[in-house]
Amino acid sequence: MSTDNKYTGRCFCGAVELSVSGKPAAMGYCHCASCRKWSAGPVNAFTLWAPSAVQITRGAEHIGSHAKTPNSLRKWCTRCGGHVMTEHPEFQLTDVYAATLDDFPFEAMLHVNYAETVLRLRDGLPKLKDFPAELGGTGSALPE
């Protein structure tokens, strides 16, 4: 993916629109209980970006947020409840949910927090127990 790529995304109703540009730092699937509850699904597909690569282009006044922990500031549209992104200040990354981005060429690199999974996936990708070591995790891989 070239560094001048730009993609747009939006909440469920379209009141909040965002853009991402450049190349994501990582893409994959999170299996932690927190992401599962937030997404109401067994797995959350993420795209991680430098905060400077993410821009709210419309509807900033409709963004609500909640910090369950200091590591995750989750954001959604106050009109429709559609999820928009999660800021991770400690990691200096912003997760823009893959499903919110239009025509984005999502290519997962790994699974994180696989020790908490409720849905085993056999896709040949690395399955990390928690997070990569560079993000404070053990970096330990689990069997598929």
Instruction: Determine how many CB atoms are found less than 10 A away from the CB of residue 128.
Output: 23
Q: Is 1 a domain residue?
A: no
Q: Is residue 107 part of a domain?
A: yes
**Number of domains into which the chain is organized:** 1
CATH number, domain with residue 54:
2.170.150.70
pLDDT value of residue 1 = 41
Mean pLDDT of the chain: 95
- Per the domain annotation, does 31 fall within a domain? yes
Confidence of residue 4 (pLDDT cuts 50, 70, 90): low
CA atoms of 31 and 129, how far apart (whole Å): 10
Residue 27 lies in a domain: yes
In a domain, 23, yes or no: yes
| pLDDT per residue as tens digits for the range 109-137 | 999 999 999 999 999 999 999 999 998 99
Note down the domain range covering 13: 6-142
Q: What is the pTM of this model?
A: 0.92
CA terminus-to-terminus distance, the chain: 28
**38, part of any domain:** yes
| Percentage with pLDDT > 90 across the chain | 92
Q: Is 51 within a domain?
A: yes
Contact between 82 and 96 under an 8 Å Cβ cutoff? The reply is no
